[in-house]
């Protein structure tokens, strides 16, 4: 932690006109990094985080102790009890060591009016000049809420929201990595317009519980060998039994060299049975949603989020995978009707929906979606990508494992569809 | 089962024949383990866990599990991460990833603010991990493995499923800045 005297020296240096650096330059200094946006975009947050001194905290909230405590509790739940308060002359300085980096913020600043300057390896912030938007950010000043710097840090612009609606069997951890995979595919901007990646998460209600029950039942056939080894449950759920790098794949491979009787001999059959169970339940769940579509209550929260982003976004590209297509159609319809001024496009990946709002891709080896066709649901779109099976996902349905697999041409097709959609809303 | 074994035997012969041209290594047993083949699946799994092919994990009924050093990562998962062939920076990212997943098991599911923070931690951990590996595809399998070994018992898996349910119909933003913890 930097001594207080250094802070004062740094503050004085700033007041004497120390050169400001753009945030991009600060982020590249050794041992340092730019502070998360929220640190200086929200005045309230700065007050709440810094003023742990109860007297000052209450004063900041007009002696509204409850509001003050709520802010501090929210802070602590995120960062732990690691924030300390120091007074420096007439300014407040907050710092944290839980991430090993010292940040300094002055609560007198308001949205978009902070800039950062180097001071012996750490940063202090001071007031930026008042400015309107879009504004040059070459002086290191942050953009107002809802705006992002363009690539060369010369202007604050509205981003395009890339929203992702997840597929069946997707956990929050899997959804986060799927969104990151889309970011990895499309990059931080499109022709200079920043992309704001948003996750619209829906879990597959009741599906995981059903599959867990089947996993326990099937495990009983193996004399309890998998009873308390649920890492194989998650591998099964993602169809990783033939992936030699997965835990389940390693076990499957090993059993091929062992005796064929008893539980070892039964193992392959149990795995095959489980795989069929998961496929059957996934197809049945999706078929149920097609015949009994999501209600307004099911997508109200996501529609509200889209509405809240409309005024600060240039447009929207909504990417849906699997069951996400059932939700994205409703969200799109509701949002487009309420906000005709916001250009919005939809990209459908492995669509489980009977209707489409944009271009789509469906793999020939996607057993989950094509199982819907076998069940007599003819409204699932035709296969338009001939794609061989993969050991990474035996069901051939995963967004990352199949459709965004760097070794398959489906990835380029998803990229092209998304790029086309981005260009349409970016004009 | 019979047809599968027949098919397996045929493949096995082909593999042995090909391998014989290159080496004289014997076929018919796991080259990573010279001990006699196990007689049951339970014994087999135990042997694979003993030789490091599979992770040796805590199987206690406690949802949180042991974390002796209090760094937010279960001790057995930390031990597994330490065996992975990754750089120091990558290992740090995997620890952040494990900490984020661990928090999903202990967060108050009735506290919407805490749940949102937890989901943001997952986002930050994934974003960090992606930046620390040469390509996202290099990081992704680690993310899957850490998720799987975090929810590795019935109690933990059920708790993670409850976390899934509690997170439904929510929205989160993928960070666009450096989210790596030191």
For B73-108, the pLDDT digits (tens) are 999 999 999 999 999 999 999 999 999 999 999 999
State the Cα–Cα distance between residues B180 and A100, nearest whole angstrom: 11
Short-list A169, A181, A349, CA closest to B174: A181
Residues 104-123 of chain B with CB under 8 A from chain A are 104, 111, 113-114, 117, 119-120, 122-123
Q: Do A177 and B140 touch (CB under 8 A)?
A: yes
User: A246–B160: do the CB atoms touch at under 8 Å?
Assistant: no
B29 pLDDT band, cuts 50/70/90, is very low
Q: Looking at CA atoms only, how far is residue B171 from chain A in angstroms? A: 5
| CA-derived radius of gyration, chain A | 26
Max CA separation in chain A (angstroms): 82
**B5:A299 CB<8 A:** no
Are the CB atoms for B124 and B176 separated by under 8 Å?
A: no
Mean pLDDT of A125-143: 42
- Report A:332-361 residues touching B (Cβ under 8 A): none
The pLDDT assigned to A153 comes to 60
- CA dist B124 and B97 (Å) reads 9
Cβ under 8 Å to A: B residues 50-79: 53-55, 57, 59
**Quick check: B41 and A181 CB within 8 A?**
no
Question: What is the structure's pLDDT at A151?
Answer: 65
* Local confidence band at A312 (pLDDT 50, 70, 90 cut-offs): confident
Residue B157 in tokens: 């898996």
Please judge whether B41 and A203 are an interchain contact, meaning their C-beta atoms are less than 8 angstroms apart. Answer: no
Nearest CA in chain A to B97: A173
Is B168 near chain A, with CB under 8 Å? yes
Per-residue pLDDT at A149 = 67
Query: Rounded to an integer, what distance in angstroms lies between the CA atom of residue A337 and that of residue B68?
Result: 55
Residue found by looking up tokens 């749940």 in the block: B115
Distances (CA, A) of A173 to A161, A327, B119, B148, B163: 21, 20, 8, 10, 11
Compute how many other C-beta atoms are within 10 angstroms of the C-beta atom of residue A142.
26
Q: A387: which DSSP letter?
A: -
Nearest CA in chain A to B41: A264
The pLDDT score that the predictor gives to residue A68 is 52
Q: Give the mean pLDDT of chain A.
A: 73
Beta-carbon separation of A194 and B176 below 8 A: yes
Residue-wise pLDDT tens digits, A28-38: 322 333 333 32
Pick from B13, B19, B42, B89 the residue to mutate for testing the A interface (most A CBs within 10 Å). Answer: B42
Angle between helices A247-255 and B136-150 (to 10 degrees): 80
| Per-residue tokens: A365 | 């080896």
User: Which residue in B has a C-alpha nearest to residue A331's C-alpha?
Assistant: B169
What separation, in Å, do the N-terminal and C-terminal C-alpha atoms of chain A show?
48
> Taking every pair of C-alpha atoms in chain B, what is the biggest distance, in angstroms?
63
Check CB contact under 8 Å for B53 and A37.
no
Contact A85, A109 (CB under 8 A): no
- Asked whether this complex has an ipTM greater than 0.90, the answer is no
Mean predicted lDDT score pLDDT of chain B: 84
Q: Nearest by CB to A406, from B114, B137, B158: name it.
A: B137
Residues contacting B7, CB < 8 A, separation 6+: none
Pick the more confident residue, B154 or A80: B154
Name the more confident of A197 and A374: A197
Using a CB-CB distance cutoff of 8 angstroms, which residues of chain A are in contact with residue B182? 99-101
Residue of A249, A180, A236, A228 whose CA lies nearest to A208: A236
Kindly list the residues from chain A whose CB atom is less than 8 angstroms away from the CB atom of residue B120.
78
pLDDT at B177: 82
- What's the angle, vertex CA A327, arms to CA A326 and CA A331, rounded to 5? 130
Query: For residue B93, how far is the Cα from the chain centroid?
Result: 14
Which of the four pLDDT bands, split at 50, 70 and 90, describes residue A83?
Answer: very low
Among all chains, which residue has been given the structure tokens 């992309």?
A195
Query: Higher confidence at residue B133 or residue A23?
Result: B133
Question: What pLDDT does residue A378 have?
Answer: 66
Q: Could you tell me if A197 and A171 are in contact, meaning their C-beta atoms sit under 8 angstroms apart?
A: no
Residues of A (202-221) whose Cβ lies below 8 Å from B: 202-203, 205, 208-209, 212, 216
For residue B30, what pLDDT is reported?
41
Evaluated on CA atoms A168, A170, A172, A177, the torsion sign reads negative
pLDDT above 90 coverage of chain A, percent? 49
Kindly compute the dihedral angle of the four CA atoms of residues A254, A259, A260, A264, in this order, to the nearest 10 degrees: -60
**Which of A75, A78, A153, A180 to probe by mutation at the B interface, max B CB count within 10 Å?**
A180
State whether residue B172 is helix, strand or coil. strand
Q: Residue A377: its pLDDT value, please?
A: 59
């Amino acid at each position: 932690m930097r001594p207080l005297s250094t802070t004062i020296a740094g503050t004085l240096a700033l007041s004497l006109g120390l050169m400001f650096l753009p945030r991009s330059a600060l982020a590249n200094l050794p041992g340092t990094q730019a502070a998360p946006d929220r640190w200086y975009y929200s005045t309230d947050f700065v007050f709440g985080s810094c003023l742990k001194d109860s007297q000052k905290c209450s004063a900041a909230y007009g002696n509204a102790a409850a509001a003050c405590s709520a802010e501090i509790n929210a802070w602590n739940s995120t960062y732990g009890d690691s924030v300390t308060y120091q007074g420096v002359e007439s300014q407040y300085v907050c710092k944290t060591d839980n991430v090993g980096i010292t940040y300094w913020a002055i609560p007198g600043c308001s949205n978009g009016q902070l800039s950062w300057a180097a001071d012996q390896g750490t940063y202090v912030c001071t007031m930026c000049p008042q400015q309107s938007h879009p504004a040059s950010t070459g002086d290191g000043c942050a953009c107002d809420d809802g705006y992002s710097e363009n690539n060369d840090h010369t202007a604050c612009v509205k981003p395009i929201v890339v929203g992702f609606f997840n597929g069946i069997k997707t956990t929050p951890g899997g959804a986060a990595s799927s969104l990151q995979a889309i970011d990895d595919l499309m990059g931080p901007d499109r022709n200079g317009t920043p992309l704001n990646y948003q996750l619209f998460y829906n879990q597959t209600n009741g599906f995981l519980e059903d599959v867990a029950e089947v996993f326990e039942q099937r495990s009983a056939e193996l004399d309890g060998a998998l009873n308390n080894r649920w890492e194989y449950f998650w591998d099964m759920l993602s169809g990783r039994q033939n992936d030699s790098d997965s835990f389940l794949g390693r076990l499957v491979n090993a059993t091929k060299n062992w005796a064929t009787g008893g539980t070892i001999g039964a193992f392959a059959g149990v795995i095959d049975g489980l795989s069929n169970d998961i496929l059957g339940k996934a197809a049945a769940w999706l078929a149920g949603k097609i015949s009994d579509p999501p209600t307004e209550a099911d997508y109200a929260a996501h529609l509200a989020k889209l509405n809240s982003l409309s005024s600060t976004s240039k447009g929207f590209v909504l990417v849906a995978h699997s069951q996400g297509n059932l939700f994205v159609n409703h969200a799109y319809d509701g949002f487009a009707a309420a906000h005709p001024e916001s250009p919005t496009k939809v990209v459908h990946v492995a669509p489980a929906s009977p209707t489409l709002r944009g271009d789509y891709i469906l793999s020939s080896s996607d057993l989950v979606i094509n199982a819907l066709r076998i069940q007599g649901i003819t409204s699932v779109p035709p296969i338009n990508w001939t794609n061989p099976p993969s050991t990474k996902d035996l069901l051939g349905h995963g967004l990352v494992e199949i459709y965004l697999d760097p070794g398959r041409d489906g990835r380029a097709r998803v990229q092209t569809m998304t790029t086309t959609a981005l260009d349409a809303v970016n004009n | 089962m019979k047809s599968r074994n027949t098919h397996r035997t045929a493949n096995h012969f082909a593999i042995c024949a090909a391998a014989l041209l290159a080496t004289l290594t014997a076929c018919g047993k796991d080259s990573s383990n010279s001990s006699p083949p196990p007689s049951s699946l339970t014994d087999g799994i135990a042997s694979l866990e003993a030789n490091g092919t599979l992770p040796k994990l805590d199987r206690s009924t406690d949802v949180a599990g042991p974390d002796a050093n209090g760094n937010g990562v279960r001790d057995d998962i930390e031990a597994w991460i330490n065996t992975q062939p990754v750089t120091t920076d990558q290992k740090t990212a995997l620890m952040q990833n494990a900490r984020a997943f661990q928090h999903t098991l202990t967060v108050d599911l009735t506290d919407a603010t805490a749940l949102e923070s937890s989901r943001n931690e997952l986002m930050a951990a994934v974003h960090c991990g992606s930046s620390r590996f040469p390509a996202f595809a290099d990081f992704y399998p680690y993310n899957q493995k850490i998720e799987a070994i975090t929810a590795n018992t019935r109690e933990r898996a059920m708790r993670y499923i409850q976390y899934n349910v509690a997170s439904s119909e929510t929205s989160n933003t993928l960070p666009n800045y450096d989210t790596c913890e030191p």
